Each structure stands twice: as structure tokens, then as C-alpha cells.
Amino acid sequence: MDGIPISWFLTLSAILFALGVAGFLFRRNIITVFMSIELMLNAVNLSFITFSYKLQKVDGHLLAFFVMVVAAAEAAVGLAIILTVFKNRSTLNIDDIDTLKN
Amino acid sequence: MQLWLIPLLPLAGFLINGILGRRLPKSLINAVAIGSVVLSFGWVLKTLFGLDLNTAHTEHYFTWIQSGTLSIGCDFSVDRLTAVMLLVVTGIGSLIHIYSIGYMAHEGGYYRFFAYLNLFMFFMLVLVLGANYLVLFVGWEGVGLCSYLLIGFYFDKKFATNAGNKAFIVNRVGDFGFSLAMFYIFRTFGSLDFATVFGQTAGASEATLTMIGLLLLVGACGKSAQLPLYVWLPDAMAGPTPVSALIHAATMVTAGVYMCARSFPIYTHAPAAMNAIAVVGIATAFFAATIGLAQTDIKKVFAYSTVSQLGYMFVGVGCGAFSAGIYHLMTHAFFKALLFLGSGSVIHALSGEQDMREMGGLRTKIPWTCWTMFCASIAIAGVPLTSGYFSKEAILAAANQHAPWMFWLGTITAGMTAFYVFRAWCMTFLGTYRGHHHPHESPPSMLVPLAILAVLSIAGGLLFKIPTFLATFFPEHEVPEDFTLTLIASSAGIIGILLAFLIYGFKPSIADAFARAVKPLYTFVYNKYYVDELYDNVIVKPVVNGSRVVLWKGFDAGLIDAIVNGTGTRARNLGSVLRLIQSGNIRSYATWVLLGSLGVIAVIVGIASSGGMR
């Protein structure tokens, strides 16, 4: 079947990933940074599924499951950290968490 | 025959006195120290009377070095030459040990002195008994060590420790020559054993033997204080007087003469080397005698006299009259030890005064010392029928046969010898006392050895006819009896004595007037021809400054320390640069993570595109 060419999926995955990286580097709010991390992970998921479809194997799907589990766990722990940080510092600005600065 | 007991008894004395001496009472220290040497002397007598000395008696104890073709055993051997040396070393050693009881009675470090003295006896006996060059060298080095220890005995005095250093370092220069000679001998003959080497000397080339002979001579010059390595002996007078008597008159300094006499098979086949020995000997004899004329310290006079008389021994050896050289070695041991011990008695009487200008008139105050020293003085001057007369005549006759100019130089030196010795005697014992102390006679422990040595100085030549004894050991050396030579030499001595009596006994002002008249020459001689200053400026200062500036400041501090310190500084600088990565800013961490991951991706892509990893 002449469906959508894979390169489109992969390009979309790349763009999503790049957006995630940009958000990770340039946004000031911690929660926004975490959302960017989630975006990066999902972009990678997309590229796994694409290759799994291309190669007609289930390996990509399995890996996608793994990535989703890790993303969920990481989100849970990350949000716990953010809550604690907010309780101590009363700010969600990533630049204000700099007590290790010399 | 248990030859090992001879050196081992003094070694035991050294160990006991050295380790336990601090807690032992003086009487026990004396008993151990003197007992060990006297017992050794007794054992020497027993051994010699039980042996047939016409063949060398060797005892092999154990193989010391076994490496490839080199095999050196710890061997002792006794033949006629060894017999003479053993008797001189242990006999005079015993007398000096007994003398030291009285001399060192009030000094600190009493046990240490006797320990070192015993150690010296051990090494000297090893030197004399050794049956190969390496065992001899062990003794050689050991006596050098003990000389250093004993010269610097009063270690809190800088000039004493400097003198000890000087003695050891100048000896070392000679030892360098000796070591080269040993290497050469081994390369030529394949062994260092006396028996093996001397059996093959007939087959070796004369050039090789001359080289070996000259190198051995360098070693002997260092140990026996000949030109140009004599400079340590006068400074060695900084040590206690018994040390000067034992080491620097009777035994250690004669080791060079012994070694040359022992190596006679090498020298008889290398006439050029033998001539070199004779030339060095006569030059030293003359040179040192001139310096002795102007000295004012009583021990320095006798020190230069020792250098001069050692020159005579070398003349004897160098002219082929080996037994004459050894004869003079023995008689010199008698009268020189007596001169030194006597001067020690004088110094002891005057509570430490050594300058002869502060002495005088001691004839009535310390008569024993005075007259025993008189006996030694006539012996060294060569007055007929004393021991010194016989040995000196033998040497001068041989010198005349070898080269007449040596005879004349030797005769003039004999005259000077007589003059300066009697100058010393007259300045010390005649006239009126010029000093401020209260002279008192020495205790019997000091006077009895003086008396024994006085008898030996006078009669030793008649009692111990060494040339006859050693005639079967050394090769035939016929020297025609010439009465004119004897007459000339004896008259030179008598003239020297009379001149000294005339000037220093009756009119000392003549000497002062003469010194003033030839002021520049007198100053030159009085300052020992500035040889020490020459060595200092030409050799010592450049080495010390070179070490300090180039090696210490340049290399050690500048290069090596810089490398070590520089590494530390560089590590610290690197660390302070890397520190900036940890900024505490989360966003910069994020940036670094990104850059790092890009780097890893680049590497993986690079590897994949260049053929992949296996």
C-alpha cells in the first residue's frame, strides 16, 4: 500500500524532539521544562513505532512500552521534587535554584 | 696455623669497646684494648717461630667473590716480608696502645679512641696478611677509614674534621689509581692472587707492566703521602699524638711502601716504573725536608719528616734495593714513633702547648722525655751505628748505584734531616723555658714505651739485620760496599747536627737574622710553598662552586624541583578551569548534557561510517 512515506513520520519525530530540546533549554518554569522532557520522550516513541511498522516487527512496540513506563515513573518523581522545591523556595523559576553556585 | 687470630683479636677488642665501652670502667677498657693487641703480638711470635719462612704459608678461608672467571678468596699468607711487617705493626702497636693509657687519661671519648685504634690494627693486619690484591685493598681502605675517624677524633673542632676529610679524600685519589691497577692486573693475568700474578709476570709485555706499576705508584703516593698527594699528612696532626705516631709514622703510611715491595716481580720487569718510584721518592724527600726546616709546630716538623723519610723508602724500593726500603721502614717505625710519642709527652707536660717557640729548657724538667728523644734524633740523623744509620746507608748506596744525582740529593736531604730534627730538639730542650705552663714529667705508662723505643732506635739496626733476613725473598741486588759514600753521608748528618746545636743551642739570633735576610724565601718555605693554597684554588674551589651553582641551583633546584612543583601547579590550574563547569546553574548543566550527547552521537556515527565495530 502506498501509505504515508516513513520519512514524514521520522521528520515529525525529529521536529518534536528538537522542540522538546529547545523547551528544555530555554524555558524558565520548571513544569514547562518537565513537559518538554515528556515531549522528547514521546517523539522518540513515535520514531520507534515507525521503524517497527517499517520492519514488520513488534520490537519497536515493546520498546515504546518501556519508554512510556519510564516516562510515567520519572514524571511522578519529578513532580514530587518540584513540590518540595516550591515548598522551600516559593518560586518555580529554574534560575533561582542556584545554591551550588560559587 | 690459625693466622686469622692475628687480625681477629683486635677486631674483638673493637667490638667489645665500641659496643659496650660506654658503660665499662676504664681499667676494663684498657685491658680489652691493650690485651687484644698484645695477645695478637704474642700470636704473631708463636706463628713465626713455628713456620718455615722460606716458602709462603697460605691459608684459604672462604671464597669471597665468584663471578665468571673472577674468583677471589679470603686468603692470608705469611712469608718473610709479611713477618717483618707483622712484627712492626703488632709490636709498635702494642707500645703505642700502652702509651695511650697515660696520654688519653684525661680526654673524653676514651673508649671510642681505643675502639678505633683496635679497628685500625685489624685493618692493618688484614692489609699485611692479604694474599691477593683485593684483600690488601680491603685493609687499605679500612686503614684510611680509621685514619679519618681518628684524625677527626676531636670532632667538635672544625679544623680536625676538615683534616679528616682532607686525608680521606686525598687518599681516595690514590685509591682510584690503585683500583685502575687492579683492573689492569685482572685483565692481564686473569687473577688478583699474588702467587698467580707474580708467577706470570715474566710473560707479560713491559708496556703493560709499566702501566700497572705506575698506577700502583699512584695508589702508593696517596696512602704514603708522596708528591703530589702528601698534603693530608701535615694536617693529620690534628689528631691525638698516639694516632700520629701509630698511623702516620709507623704503620698506615708504610702500606704504600709495603705494597710496592710486595709487587716487586711487576716492578723488576718494568724498569721505567721503578725509576718513577725512585724519582718521586727522592723529590718528595728533598721537598718535604726543606719545608720541615721552617716549621714551628713540633708535630708539623715530624710530619714533614715522615713524608721525607717515606720518600727515602721509596728511593730504596725504586732503586731495586727492596730490602733496604723495608729496613728503613722498620727503623723509621722505631725512631719516628719515638719522636712522636716524645713530642706527645712534651705536649702533655705543657698541657697542650705545641709551638716550639713557647718551649725551651725542658731538659731539666722532663729528663726521660728529653733523652729518649735524643736517642731518636741521633737515629734519624744517621749517626753511625744507630739503626737509622744502617738503613739510610743501604738506601743511599743503592741510590748511588742507580743514579748518582739521587745519592747527592739524598745526602743533602740527610743533612737537612739532621738539622731540622736537632733544631726541634734544641728549641724544645735547651736554653731557658719561654712559656707560662708548669712542665711535669709524664706517667710511667707513657715513659716505658719511650724507653723501649729508644733502645730499639739505637740498637735495632744491629739487632734486626733485615737485609740478611730478606735476602732470600727479594731478587739479588748487589751493591758494592763503598766506604767513601758512607763517609760523605755520615758527615752530612754530623754537620747538620753541629749546625743545629750551634744555632739553636747557643745563638738563636743567627736563625732569626738569617730568616729576616731571606724574608721572601723564608715566607715561601714557611707557608709550605703555598701548595695547599694552590690545590684549594685550582681543584677544591672550582669543584665546590661548580657543585653549588651548576648542580645544586641549576639542576636540582632549577630543573628537578621545577618539574615536580610544576606538575603540581599545572594540575591546580587545570582544576581551576574545570571548576567553572560546575556553575550551580541548572540550565548550563542542561546545555552541557546536550553537547555531550551530540559528541557521543558524532563518535558513533563516525565509527559506523568507517566500517563499524567488530
Q: What pLDDT does B613 receive?
A: 67
Residue A63 lies in a domain: yes
Interface check for A19 against chain B (CB to CB < 8 A): the answer is: no
CA distances from B578 to A29, B107, B571, B574 (A): 28, 68, 11, 6
Of A25, A95, A100, the CB nearest to B594: A25
The Cα–Cα gap between B124 and B484 comes to 39
Residue B474 contacts residue B322 (beta carbons within 8 Å): yes
Q: What is the mean pLDDT of residues A81-99?
A: 88
* Eight-class DSSP state of B432: -
CB atoms B585 and A25 under 8 Å: no
**Dihedrals φ, ψ of B412, to 5°?**
-60, -40
At A21, is the secondary structure helix, strand, or coil? Answer: helix
User: Residue B298 CB: number of other CB atoms within 10 A?
Assistant: 26
For the CA atoms of B79, B82, B88, B90, the dihedral, rounded to the nearest 10 degrees, stands at: -100
Spell out which residues of chain B touch residue A102, defining contact as CB-CB under 8 Å. 579, 583-584
Interface check for A97 against chain B (CB to CB < 8 A): the answer is: yes
User: Three cell numbers at B220?
Assistant: 702508593
Q: What pLDDT does B598 receive?
A: 92
Cα dihedral sign for B332, B338, B344, B350? negative
Of A21, A97, A102, the CB nearest to B586: A97
- Identify the bridge partners of residue B65 per DSSP, sorted by sequence position: B72
Compare all CA atoms of chain A with the CA of B590 and give the residue at the minimum distance: A25
Spell out which residues of chain B touch residue A85, defining contact as CB-CB under 8 Å. none
Closest to B251 (Cα-Cα) out of B162, B122, B154 = B122
CA distances from B238 to B179, B300, B372, B421 (A): 29, 10, 24, 20
Q: What pLDDT does B614 receive?
A: 62
Identity at B551, one-letter amino acid code: L
Number of CB pairs, chain A paired with chain B, less than 8 A apart: 24
For the CA atoms of B324, B327, B329, B333, the dihedral, rounded to the nearest 10 degrees, stands at: -150
The Cα–Cα gap between B111 and B104 comes to 10
Spell out which residues of chain A touch residue B582, defining contact as CB-CB under 8 Å. 100
CB atoms A99 and B585 under 8 Å: no
Spell out which residues of chain B touch residue A100, defining contact as CB-CB under 8 Å. 582, 584
Residue A67 lies in a domain: yes
For the CA atoms of B429, B302, B238, B548, the dihedral, rounded to the nearest 10 degrees, stands at: 140
The CATH number covering residue A47 comes to: 1.10.287.3510
User: First and final CA of chain A: distance in angstroms?
Assistant: 61
Instruction: Please state, rounded to an integer, the average pLDDT across all residues of chain B.
Output: 87
Residue B387 contacts residue B460 (beta carbons within 8 Å): yes
Q: What is the residue whose three cell numbers read 748487589?
A: B478
CA distances from B514 to B238, B294, B358, B420 (A): 30, 12, 20, 15
Spell out which residues of chain A touch residue B578, defining contact as CB-CB under 8 Å. none
The Cα–Cα gap between B539 and B536 comes to 6
Residue B225 contacts residue B253 (beta carbons within 8 Å): yes
Interface check for A25 against chain B (CB to CB < 8 A): the answer is: yes
Interface check for A94 against chain B (CB to CB < 8 A): the answer is: yes
User: Residue B606 CB: number of other CB atoms within 10 A?
Assistant: 9
Spell out which residues of chain B touch residue A99, defining contact as CB-CB under 8 Å. 584
Residue A8 lies in a domain: no
Domain of residue A46: give its range: 28-93
- Identify the bridge partners of residue B60 per DSSP, sorted by sequence position: B75
Q: What pLDDT does B117 receive?
A: 92
Residue B13 contacts residue B37 (beta carbons within 8 Å): yes
The Cα–Cα gap between B37 and B94 comes to 6
Residue A23 lies in a domain: no
User: Three cell numbers at A16?
Assistant: 518534536
Residue A75 lies in a domain: yes
* CB contact set of B513 (below 8 Å; sequence gap of 6+): none
Estimate to the nearest angstrom the gap between the alpha carbon of B237 and the chain centroid.
12
Residues B124, B127, B130: CA angle, nearest 5 degrees: 145
| Cis status, amide bond into B228, omega within 30 of 0 | yes
Residue B381 contacts residue B250 (beta carbons within 8 Å): no
B63: enclosing H helix or E strand: strand B57-67
Spell out which residues of chain B touch residue A97, defining contact as CB-CB under 8 Å. 586
pTM of the predicted model as reported, rounded to 2 decimal places: 0.80
User: Three cell numbers at B238?
Assistant: 690534628
Compare all CA atoms of chain A with the CA of B582 and give the residue at the minimum distance: A101
Compare all CA atoms of chain A with the CA of B587 and give the residue at the minimum distance: A25
Compare all CA atoms of chain B with the CA of A29 and give the residue at the minimum distance: B587
User: Residue B470 CB: number of other CB atoms within 10 A?
Assistant: 21
User: First and final CA of chain B: distance in angstroms?
Assistant: 82
Q: What pLDDT does A2 receive?
A: 67
Closest to B293 (Cα-Cα) out of B64, B514, B77 = B514
Q: What is the residue whose three cell numbers read 677486631?
A: B11
Q: What pLDDT does B42 receive?
A: 92
Residue A71 lies in a domain: yes
Q: What pLDDT does A58 receive?
A: 93
The Cα–Cα gap between B453 and B474 comes to 28
The Cα–Cα gap between B329 and B81 comes to 12
* CB contact set of A101 (below 8 Å; sequence gap of 6+): B583, B584, B585
Specify the number of domains making up chain A.
1
Closest to B359 (Cα-Cα) out of B439, B257, B303, B244 = B439
Per-residue b/e over A83-95, b at no fewer than 16 CB within 10 Å? eebeeeeeebebe
* DSSP, residue by residue, B210-271: HHHHHHHHHHHHHHTT-TTS-THHHHGGGS-HHHHHIIIIISGGGHHHHHHHHTHHHHHT-H
Residue A32 lies in a domain: yes
Residue B324 contacts residue B465 (beta carbons within 8 Å): no
CB atoms B585 and A98 under 8 Å: yes
Residue B348 contacts residue B446 (beta carbons within 8 Å): yes
Residue A13 lies in a domain: no
At A37, is the secondary structure helix, strand, or coil? Answer: helix
Closest to B454 (Cα-Cα) out of B542, B372, B553, B576 = B372
The Cα–Cα gap between B504 and B216 comes to 42
Q: Which residues of chain B have pLDDT under 70?
A: 613-614
